Structure 1
Amino acid sequence: MLEVLTISQNDIVHQIKLSCELPSILESIMTRQIITRAASEIGIKVELEELQQAVDNFRLMNHLGSTDATWLWLQKHSLSLDDLEEIATVSVLFSKLSQYLFAAQVEHFFVEHQLDCVQIVMYEVILDDEDLAMELFYAIKEGEISFSEVAHQYIQDPELRRKGGYLGKLKRIELKPEISTAVFSATPPAILKPILTAQGAHLILVEEFIQPKLDNVLRYNILSNLFSEWLKQQIEQFQVKID
């Protein structure tokens, strides 16, 4: 027979403090309170159909495909059905409040920050020897060797070598300033003269620019970022008092 170990709510709170998780917990509480209060002041309500859809989405995200799985999950997290509905309610309010406050600003924000959303498709080989990098740069330019051959010969990381130095689709903010300046000034397709950083000499092939489109995914990301920034500003206006 298993021995019973009693854990009080004070024990839980104390462990949260010892785990240094209290600041993030407090921020989550404040976020929920700010959202519910702002929604109430504006008159935003959650309809029954919206609540059910939010619950279904939550179950899907947490792989709770059956009623039994849902109940076991609730028990594991010491939650009730009412708690699940509260989670879903806050989720709906988050969506509706963000739409109310910032939906009309999304297109303007996109136009103003369009350059920040441009992506570059690029390949990179980093060499320790600047002279070798320069030699390979001219060899590629003259067609004596391909960038792919250089990548397979000089990249040490097996995965990156298999991809020929392909780094994916990157935004300006994801690159070092000295690299982003050169990369985004290029006219693709182009091989760039080696760029020196603390890592070494970067031999870069710029394949293409991908111009951003304001599709549903980008629209949602912009909306979420605007709303998150608003929440951050709201939180900074409050001083927390723990009762």
Structure 2
Amino acid sequence: MTQTITITHEEIIHEIKLSCKMPEIIEQIITRKAIANAAKEAGIEVTNEALQRTADALRLISKLETAEDTWAWLEKFSLTLDDFEQIAYTNFISAQLANHLFADKVERCFFEDQLNYAGAALYEVVLDDEDLAIELFYAIKEDEISFHDVARQYIEDKELRRKGGYKGIVHRKDLKPEISAAVFAAKPPQLLKPIVTSKGVHLIFVEELIQPNLDDKLRATILSDMFSEWLKQQIEQFAVLEQFEVI
């Protein structure tokens, strides 16, 4: 027999506290309020057409192809249509605010910090045993085994193992300093000597070094990075004026 359980708003808040997620939720509330306040000060306006385009994009990202899909998604997350519109509204003003604050600063940021946007196409296997990593390094150098075979034998993650340890295009700023120094000093294609970090012993093959180019993708990345840093500063400075009490 199916049993019905009643869950109150107070219990939901209490569960958030018990799961130690209250700081995360408060930070999200502060973020939303900081964006709304800054957008209002900047005079950013939202038209019905713009809101509809943003809502359509949100449906596309969430793979909500039909009205039934949308209603099921809303029900799953206990959202109303007004809530969905609020999400679309916040997404829209966030994008507009990011452009308002930083669009004209992207090129300067790129040229001042373009070394950090240099990329490397690399393959990586992380091991626990340094002696084993050294042994495999020399075995690959002597063509006794291929890097792909090493990846297939020692990588636990299924998808990464299937790709032979290929990490894609990785930027300097996304790598640990000890790894980025070795990677960007390489002469590709080159297998690097094992590098020890807190995560383990890294066996890395550098396929190609890629000089940064300020294309649309990188421009969007820099804009997002600058906006994220701005939000971080707002969270640190924002005063939480509203308080609530769970009865």
TM-score calculated relative to the size of structure 1: 0.80
Distance in 2 between residues matched to 1:14 and 1:103, nearest whole Å: 41
**1:207 counterpart residue number:** 207
**2:131 counterpart residue number:** 128
Alignment CA distance shift 1:32-1:165 (3 Å): closer
Report if the CA contact (8 A) 1:54-1:91 is conserved: yes
Distance in 2 between residues matched to 1:135 and 1:75, nearest whole Å: 57
Give the superposition deviation at 1:191.
Answer: 4.8
Match for 1:30: what amino acid?
A: I
Distance in 2 between residues matched to 1:154 and 1:42, nearest whole Å: 54
Report if the CA contact (8 A) 2:36-2:93 is conserved: yes
Alignment CA distance shift 1:11-1:162 (3 Å): closer
Give the superposition deviation at 1:50.
Answer: 0.8
Give the superposition deviation at 1:71.
Answer: 1.8
Distance in 1 between residues matched to 2:104 and 2:14, nearest whole Å: 44
Match for 1:35: what amino acid?
A: I
Alignment CA distance shift 1:67-1:191 (3 Å): closer
**1:180 counterpart residue number:** 180
Q: Which moved more, 1:127-136 or 1:40-49?
A: 127-136
Deviations 1:128-164 (A, max 9, x none): 2688578658xx4xxxx448x3436766326778766
Deviations 1:6-42 (A, max 9, x none): 2221111111111111111111111111111111111
Alignment CA distance shift 1:43-1:165 (3 Å): closer
Give the superposition deviation at 1:113.
Answer: 1.8
**2:196 counterpart residue number:** 197
**1:62 counterpart residue number:** 62
Match for 1:197: what amino acid?
A: V
SS of residue in 2 equivalent to 1:50:
helix
Distance in 2 between residues matched to 1:83 and 1:109, nearest whole Å: 36
Give the superposition deviation at 1:210.
Answer: 1.1
**2:26 counterpart residue number:** 26
Give the superposition deviation at 1:175.
Answer: 4.2
The alignment status of 1:91 with 2:88, answered yes or no, reads: no
The alignment status of 1:151 with 2:147, answered yes or no, reads: yes
Report if the CA contact (8 A) 2:134-2:194 is conserved: no
Give the superposition deviation at 1:99.
Answer: 0.3
Distance in 2 between residues matched to 1:73 and 1:165, nearest whole Å: 35
Distance in 2 between residues matched to 1:189 and 1:203, nearest whole Å: 14
Distance in 1 between residues matched to 2:121 and 2:38, nearest whole Å: 42
Match for 1:172: what amino acid?
A: R
The alignment status of 1:218 with 2:218, answered yes or no, reads: yes
Q: CA RMSD in A?
A: 3.0
Report if the CA contact (8 A) 1:36-1:90 is conserved: yes
The alignment status of 1:229 with 2:226, answered yes or no, reads: no
Give the superposition deviation at 1:75.
Answer: 2.5
Alignment CA distance shift 1:238-1:164 (3 Å): closer
Match for 1:27: what amino acid?
A: E
Give the superposition deviation at 1:204.
Answer: 5.1
**2:15 counterpart residue number:** 15
Give the superposition deviation at 1:73.
Answer: 2.1
SS of residue in 2 equivalent to 1:128:
helix
Report if the CA contact (8 A) 1:152-1:162 is conserved: no
Listed as ranges, the gaps of 5+ residues in structure 2 are none
Deviations 1:93-134 (A, max 9, x none): 000000000001111111122111112234567762688578
Give the superposition deviation at 1:187.
Answer: 2.8
Larger radius of gyration: 1
Of all paired residues, the percent bearing the same amino acid is 47
